[in-house]
Amino acid sequence: MCLLGSSIAMADPLAPIAPKPIPAPTFRLPSPPLVQSIDPAATAIGFALVSRSSPFAGRVRVTGTVKNLGNAAYLSGANQQLAELFEIPAGGRPRLVASVPFQNLAPGAQVTVSFERDWNIASPAEGEFPPTYKVMVVYDPDIRLDGNPKNDDWNNANNVFERNGSAVRALF
């Protein structure tokens, strides 16, 4: 049987074959679990001029800040933790000047502790050798044994912040 006028195209067995793209796999690794951190930390000490009695003297407010740097709420019982502010004269012993109890701190929340005192920058004890201030997070000694994991501080290394009072001179 003869087919006139028809043509059958035969594929060249030696011609290169264009590769078909292979889609990338679409699997996902599971996300790591979010680590819950509870971290009340002493973060700052600030100075403010409350009143001025002369070009060199006045009343100054010293404020310490404790802030929860963690991503989980600090939840505790009453009277288990304090924010304490100390004044340390040059060459002297630390003196507790203010204390504020706190109980719960949401992530990013803060508590402040402050006190006011007279200041004279012309005095060597306050101008040339000003005191240093220290804010501390202080816990009940058995807070880790109370059975409440929501008040266990994740990072005890940041529970103290210190600042020299030399910055007060700039307020006058």
CATH for 40-171 (1.10.101, 2.60.40, 1.20.120, 2.40.160):
2.60.40
Supply the pTM of this predicted model.
Answer: 0.78
Contact 141, 100 (CB under 8 A): no
The answer for residues whose C-beta is within 8 angstroms of residue 17's C-beta and 6 or more apart is none
Asked if pLDDT for residue 134 goes beyond 90, the answer is yes
Q: Which of 83, 47, 46, 86 is nearest to 68 (CA)?
A: 83
What percent of the chain clears pLDDT 70, i.e. is strictly above it? 80
pLDDT of residue 27: 59
Least confident of 34-43, 44-53, 65-74, 151-160: 34-43
Extents of the domains making up the chain: 40-171
Two tokens at 37? 């951190």
How many Cα atoms within 13 Å fall on the side-chain side of residue 132? Answer: 12
User: What residues are paired with 46 via a beta bridge?
Assistant: 63
According to DSSP, residue 78 is labeled T
Highest mean pLDDT among 8-22, 67-81, 136-150: 67-81
